[in-house]
Amino acid sequence: MVSWRMAEEWPDASYACVNLRETYAPDEIRHAVCVRGDIGETLRQLKTL
């Protein structure tokens, strides 16, 4: 099963998408964050917060 479909079925779930080019989260997912960029760099930046 596609991970965003699982998040769509569970109302308390959160969905995160990190991709170099395209990001997508269906409107039906209430808690979603999409980041366009390198996952390694994104995680390094989040670690400093």
Q: Work out whether the CA dihedral 29, 25, 16, 9 comes out positive or negative.
A: positive
Residues ≥6 apart with Cβ < 8 Å to 13:
6, 7, 29, 31
Structure-token match 């170099």, residue found? 20
pLDDT-based confidence at residue 1 (cuts at 50, 70, 90): low
Q: Strand, helix or coil at 36?
A: strand
pTM of the model: 0.70
The 10s digit of each residue's pLDDT in 12-49 is 888 899 999 999 888 888 889 999 999 999 999 999 99
Cα–Cα–Cα angle for 19, 3, 1, rounded to 5 degrees: 130
